[in-house]
Homo-oligomer: A and B are copies of this chain.
């Protein structure tokens, strides 16, 4: 598991913002690689006997990134059966409310909590997000007007599990382990697979084995080195995902960028990132190739959104 010294990345990431080859109005980025024929093929080959739910659920006290002041997940009841008898907020009156038990609730969350997708506007460089949308013209009081989560279409395509933890024969990669291009190629090779245009690779570190133990799940994540991230985007992937909080290795290996992988995927190449995926069952069952179905909640302008990706193994 040692790293060859001459593969050490340079100390500067040197990310620049990407201009979309799909035109000046494009907000989809690499999602343009999604193709109807792949979707048709995947659904035709999907083994629907087992659905793999790759999401985690949301609950008060769940681990989440709070290091920069963002709130933890919260849910509150806005209506309770007993409370409704007292406050009659629905105006139905005592007799009806004694019979009917009304419950309602509200949620409050950072959009990067739980299993979610990062939208393209989550990270930019030098004043612009992907496809040169500038802060000044496109950042409203409440959210961006470009590159938000509502732009992301339903993703039905080929998913590929790149099981780096399994390649190394460990339950979980060590803290801050930078996944290399060799690791990716090794894991793909072990599975007998290669990446195609429009694929969505899910890189497994093993971290979600410990969920929801925040002490073991968050902080100093093993994840993609910038070289590995660049190799992936060279394959024309439509999106990328991982079973940790930021897909890339942390802390950053590059002095000019605290999250160079985010800047590369989102800002430079227009690749949305899916985080905190539960890949444990896919790994245990050896499902390295699958039909992926994933569609985030359409939060207009948001830098991220909850999603519940589903995978199905492929029939031969």
Q: Which residues of A contact B (CB under 8 A)?
A: 36, 39-40, 42-44, 46, 48-49, 51, 53, 55-61, 67-72, 74-84, 86-87, 89-92, 95-96, 99-112, 114, 121-129, 135-145, 150, 153-154, 156, 256-259, 263, 267, 293, 295-304, 306-308, 310, 312
Contacts and interface: CB of A to CB of B under 8 A. Distances in A.
Nearest to A124: B101
A137 B106 contact: no
A205 B304 CA distance: 32
Contacts of A307: 297
A142 B87 contact: yes
Contact of A127 (B79, B101, B306): B101
Contacts of A111: 104-107
Interface SS of chain A: helix, strand, loop or mixed?
A: mixed
A297 B299 CA distance: 13
Contacts of A87: 140-142, 145
A142 B76 contact: yes
A53 to B, nearest CB: 6
A79 B84 CA distance: 16
A87 B71 CA distance: 17
Contacts of A300: 57-59, 75
- What are the 6 A-B residue pairs with the smallest beta carbon separation, nearest first? A83-B141, A87-B140, A101-B124, A76-B76, A57-B298, A59-B300
